[in-house]
């Protein structure tokens, strides 16, 4: 599935950016929460695909979509803390919006 592949690629990019954070005070909790949110996108797509009904699959896609928004929220907090650069945040947000559109299209295609 293209949307699952894009979600995996997005997770890798976000995690790589998190690895670049330079701060005297490492806030491991927010970094861990960001990693959890971004990796749950592809995980929920995969888990939903493995379910027995379209209704269950759709519900997991809704959860994945929520994780996209959660990831964007964390990225904005990290931007405000000046731990990730503006251009990188904008790039990742753009990818998140693209991923969100793909999820919406898949949700709408499930009858």
Q: Specify burial of residue 107 (Cβ count, 10 A radius: 0-12, 13-18, 19+).
A: middle
Q: Does the pLDDT at position 25 exceed 90?
A: no
| Rounded Cα distance, 13 and 19, in Å | 10
Q: What is the pLDDT of residues 74-87, one digit of tens each?
A: 999 999 999 999 99
**Domain regions of the chain by residue span:** 2-109
Rg (CA), the chain: 14
Mean pLDDT score across all residues of the chain: 94
Provide the whole-model pTM: 0.92
CATH number of this structure's domain 2-109: 1.20.1440.60
Cβ count within 10 A of residue 95 = 17
Q: For the chain, report the end-to-end CA distance as a whole number of angstroms.
A: 18
């Amino acid at each position: 599935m293209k949307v699952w592949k894009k979600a995996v690629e997005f997770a890798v990019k976000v995690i790589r950016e998190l690895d670049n954070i330079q701060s005297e005070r490492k806030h491991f909790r927010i970094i861990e929460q960001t990693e959890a949110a971004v990796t749950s996108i592809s995980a929920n797509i995969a888990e939903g695909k493995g379910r027995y009904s379209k209704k269950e699959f759709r519900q997991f896609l809704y959860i994945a979509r929520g994780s996209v928004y959660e990831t964007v929220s964390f990225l904005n907090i990290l931007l405000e803390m000046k731990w990730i650069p503006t251009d990188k945040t904008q790039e990742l947000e753009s990818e998140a919006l693209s991923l969100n559109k793909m999820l919406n299209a898949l949700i709408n295609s499930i009858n």
